[in-house]
Structure 1
Amino acid sequence: MAFWDEKTLAQMNTEEWESLCDGCGKCCLNKLIDDETEELYYTNAACQLLDNKAGHCKSYEQRFNFVPSCTKVTVDNLESLTWLPDSCAYRRLLQGRELPSWHPLRTGSKEAMILAGMSVAGKVTCETKIRDIEDHIVLWPMKDVE
């Protein structure tokens, strides 16, 4: 049985916790919240540290030095991070759902995730090149497939 099936999120060690991240990059997208409805909108404007072609952080270990607003997902703050997509492994496990079939822990690589359309790779623009972020609202980050 896999560790994510045997342990709660709180029981996982650092290595297990970090491995849950599929590296999709959706958490690195700029998001907007409607002031009136409080509805969340994803954009295709990505953090300046995101490698737009590969879909991963160019400076993961040092990201907080460059982007102080970057959020570290922890077992303590997970429930409050309502902006994490439904496809996020942390959110899925918190909700009692399984890891999807495309998850790198199941497949051994990120290829299935990319083929399933779950990665931001090749779909985003650096936030520093965006003028009107409202023009960059997209729906694809909300996609969640098993």
Structure 2
Amino acid sequence: MSASSSGPTTSLPFWRTKPLNLMSPSEWESLCDGCGKCCLHKLEDEDTGKIHYTNVACQMLNLGTCGCKDYPNRQKHIPDCVQLDASKVEALKWLPSTCAYRLVAENKPLPWWHPLITGDRNSVHEAGASVRGRAIAESRAGPLDRHIVTWPA
């Protein structure tokens, strides 16, 4: 009889082993940390192409939960709402640096506060990594160029 010592088995989480384009719909959706940063209006400098983030939220963003008010039907309300998919992640330079889709595409780890790491959907808010308490409604904003901020990136 021979003893085998294989040691403890640790399997990597799906986001470390699967490319974005092979994730199931539920895996894909679970990557979203619920920060709301992608739902802030952005301005692009026509001369330099630089993206400027604002603290102005899309009208569909619930400022308390940082989730879309009608996610399944958002494009009916906002026709130019970007339907994020694996083929767009690398091309969308405005995705925040903490965005899990961007991080996975760049083979970087998720932040410690990401709900997939903590098991808690509120950890993104508790860590101060969401737009909760920092964004304003589109209907109250006025000109976007008066609302440029540096924190979402």
Q: What TM-score results when the alignment is normalised by the length of structure 2?
A: 0.88
Contact 1:55 1:122 in 2 (8 A): no
Counterpart in the other structure of 2:50: 39
Q: 1:129 Cα deviation (Å)?
A: 1.6
2: CA distance, partners of 1:20 / 1:64? 20
What is the percentage of aligned positions where both structures have the same residue? Answer: 45
Consecutive unaligned residues of structure 2, counting only runs of 5 or more, are 1-11
Counterpart in the other structure of 1:15: 26
1: CA distance, partners of 2:133 / 2:68? 14
What is the correspondence of 1:40-79 to structure 2 with a 5 Å cutoff? 40-79=51-90
Counterpart in the other structure of 1:83: 94
Post-superposition CA distance 1:19-39 (Å, at most 9, x none): 101111111000001111211
2:149 pairs with 1:138: yes
2: CA distance, partners of 1:122 / 1:58? 17
The AA in structure 2 aligned to 1:79 is E
Counterpart in the other structure of 1:29: 40
Runs of 4 or more consecutive aligned structure 1 residues displaced over 6 Å after TM superposition: none
Contact 2:34 2:124 in 1 (8 A): no
2: CA distance, partners of 1:112 / 1:38? 33
The AA in structure 2 aligned to 1:87 is T
User: The residue matched to 1:42 in structure 2 has which SS?
Assistant: strand
Contact 2:56 2:138 in 1 (8 A): yes
Contact 1:23 1:55 in 2 (8 A): yes
Contact 2:20 2:86 in 1 (8 A): yes
- How many aligned positions are there? 142
Contact 2:16 2:107 in 1 (8 A): no
1: CA distance, partners of 2:46 / 2:147? 17
Give the alignment partner of residue 107 of structure 1, picking from 113, 118, 136: 118
The AA in structure 1 aligned to 2:23 is M
1: CA distance, partners of 2:40 / 2:21? 26
Counterpart in the other structure of 1:124: 135
Q: 1:87 Cα deviation (Å)?
A: 0.4
Q: What TM-score results when the alignment is normalised by the length of structure 1?
A: 0.92
